[in-house]
Amino acid sequence: MKEKVIERLVRYAKIDTQSDFNSDTTPSTMKQFDLLHVLKDELAAIGLTDITLDENGYLFATLESNTDKDVPTLGFLAHVDTTSDYTGTNVQPQRIDNYDGEAITLNNGLVMAPDYFPNLKNYVGQTLITTDGNTLLGADDKAGIAEIMTAMEYLVKNPEIKHGKIRVAFTPDEEIGRGPHKFDVEKFGADYAYTMDGGPLGELQFESFNAAGVKVTTRGTNIHPGSAKNKMVNSITMAIEFQNEMPKDAVPEKTDGYEGFIHLMHFNGGIEETTMSYIIRDHDRAKFEEKKAYMAKVGKELQEKYGEEAITVAIEDQYYNMGEKIEPVMEIVDIVKEAFSKFNITPIVEPIRGGTDGSQLSYMGLPTPNIFAGGENMHGKYEFVSAETMEKATEVIIEIVQLFEQR
């Protein structure tokens, strides 16, 4: 099983599937279909049925039940796109067998050293798949895809393992927050689902941020600086004034755990117009609403000072804490913990400081916790994954479907 997940990850990683936040299409990049078509053919070759790939890049398939028991239909999901934070073109994965715990040399003189990446020490003696230093790896979430595919193949080849109906979905655009936007929950037809999209061994997540995006636009008047007194209105300084009112400690670089933040992501402007893009994140819904209200209040105060047209603050909710929808059906989390215990995996139950497709899917009527897929140092040239962790994730999938059938 270990060699299967390695082979699949390496093969999938070499296919460029980066999504594009600036695109209005679904999927945001047509190259995501390059991997989706490969997966569609592979699902058919494995023996899954009811395989559909729609024009928006949602690939569904079924492994039919082989039990007479009434078992909930389970879904397993992973996303095909990789982040645009770092290049995903011409990915050349490197394999390191029996990792010795020392620094790993990549191309161009880059070194991935345990002194800087202490998480490497957790993988001594294991097989690591790394980048070559020129690109990201794409284990987020091609490791999850490899694990789901390998688990489905194993179940087909071992029909003595009893399970209910299983639905598989490979989806686009998770990295830009749009993964579930055109996901047909009714067509998918699962009672519960799991995203295989977490990090290190043992991660199990059923709480996420509440999230909103904010676009602040300031508008000024440009006059020649030599004759600008009492005439010029500088939109840049107005934008800085807005930012200076934001909390100084509720920012990503100063928060962790359940602490929320207001994060300035982009600033672009001139005297006539300046735009700023923010994200608001908080696990607590009340604190989330307070942050939104505070930003709107600061905008209103600047309108009173400079004029109603001088500044606009547009706030749009993106997703909500999936814990609100999963807590009423916590048995789906408990079953994962039970599966972990069979393989002596210690659950790492922490809130996601971000979102997964499960955040939105849970609010669309499909409760969807998130399980580890193995990736570390994701979204950059130091990304790596342990083959042993991927193998464990595959085994967990197989155990989960058995546990549901045995109840």
Residues marked as binding for Zn(2+)? 79, 140, 175, 197, 379
Q: Which helix (H) or strand (E) holds 20?
A: none
d(CA 238, CA 312): 12
Give buried/exposed letters for 74-90 (b at 16+ CB in 10 A, else e).
bbbbbbbbbbbebebee
What is the distance between the alpha carbons of residues 37 and 261, in angstroms, rounded to a whole number? Answer: 39
Q: What is the DSSP letter of 222?
A: -
C-beta of residue 160 within 8 angstroms of C-beta of residue 403: no
Q: How far apart are CA 323 and CA 364, in angstroms?
A: 13
Question: Judging by DSSP bridges, how do beta strands 49-53 and 94-96 pair with one another?
Answer: unpaired
**Spatial CB neighbours of 331, under 8 Å, sequence gap ≥ 6:** none
Pair 172, 32: CB distance under 8 Å:
yes
By three-state DSSP, how is residue 258 classified?
coil
CA angle 312, 318, 321 (to 5 degrees): 130
Cis peptide upstream of residue 141 (ω within 30 degrees of 0): yes
Nearest CA to 332 among 362, 367, 373, 374?
367
User: Which residues are identified as catalytic?
Assistant: 81, 174
Amino acid at 261: F
What does the alpha-carbon distance between residue 235 and residue 26 come to, in Å, rounded to a whole number? 34
Binding residues: 79, 140, 175, 197, 379
Token pair for residue 350? Answer: 């922490």
